[in-house]
């Protein structure tokens, strides 16, 4: 930010340090050099703000259209050709269920009194794959493949499973 840049410059100036650029036409030992330094800082801050604003407007446009904004797809969902969430019909052989039915089953078991720990143990015993999927069938290779209670807890708190989509904007 411009204020951080100026604060850093003021501290350097108080210590007797000047800034000379090898690529830009300024030397902060002169008044015009200090002006150019601050002007370039202002332009950089403007560009940063403009990029952030455009990104926010783009995310809002995607959300308003009801499309998936990106990130990990919730268990039980895929994306259709319009980039909207749709129930996943992937069959999970060890459970005899499709992925969307499995997600509903997990939530129902928790509602009936099961715990996240018990559900994680059950899914691991059934050898249900624990993978994070993204748009385009991309899988996250950083997961251990083992269900953890924390993953179940995140899942049951996800508003998507209750028919709500939450969009956070800056």
pLDDT average per 10 residues of sequence, the chain (170 residues): 88 90 83 88 93 88 77 87 88 92 95 95 92 74 78 90 68
DSSP, residue by residue, 20-82: B-SSSS-BTTSHHHHHHHHHHHHHHHHHHHHHHHHHHHHHHHHHHTT---SSPPPTTEEE-TT
Of 129, 122, 126, 89, the closest CA to residue 108 belongs to 122
Question: Model-level pTM?
Answer: 0.63
**Model pLDDT, residue 112:** 96
Average pLDDT, the chain: 86
Comparing CA positions, the residue from 41, 11, 10, 47 lying closest to residue 26 is 41
pLDDT at 43: 93
Q: Report the chain's terminal Cα–Cα distance, integer Å.
A: 17
Give the pLDDT confidence score for residue 163 in this predicted structure: 75
Residue 122: name the closest of 157, 91, 151, 142 by CA.
Answer: 151
pLDDT for position 26: 79
* Residue with the two structure tokens 């002006």: 35
Token pair listed for 34: 């200090």
């Amino acid at each position: 930010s411009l204020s951080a840049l100026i604060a850093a410059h003021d501290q350097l100036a108080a210590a007797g340090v000047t800034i000379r650029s090898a690529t830009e036409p300024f030397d902060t030992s002169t008044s015009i050099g200090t002006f150019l330094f601050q002007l370039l800082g202002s332009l950089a801050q403007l560009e940063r703000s403009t990029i952030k604003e455009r990104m926010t407007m783009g995310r809002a446009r995607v959300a308003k259209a009801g499309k998936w904004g990106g990130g990990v797809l919730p268990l039980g969902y895929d994306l259709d050709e319009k980039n909207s969430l749709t129930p996943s019909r992937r069959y999970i052989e060890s459970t005899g269920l499709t992925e969307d039915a499995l997600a509903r089953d997990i939530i129902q078991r928790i509602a009936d009194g099961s715990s996240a720990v018990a559900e994680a143990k059950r899914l691991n015993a059934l050898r249900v794959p624990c993978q994070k999927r993204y748009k385009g069938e991309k899988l996250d290779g950083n997961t251990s493949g083992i269900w953890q209670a924390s993953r179940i807890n995140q899942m049951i708190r996800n508003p998507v499973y209750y028919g709500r989509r939450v969009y956070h904007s800056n």
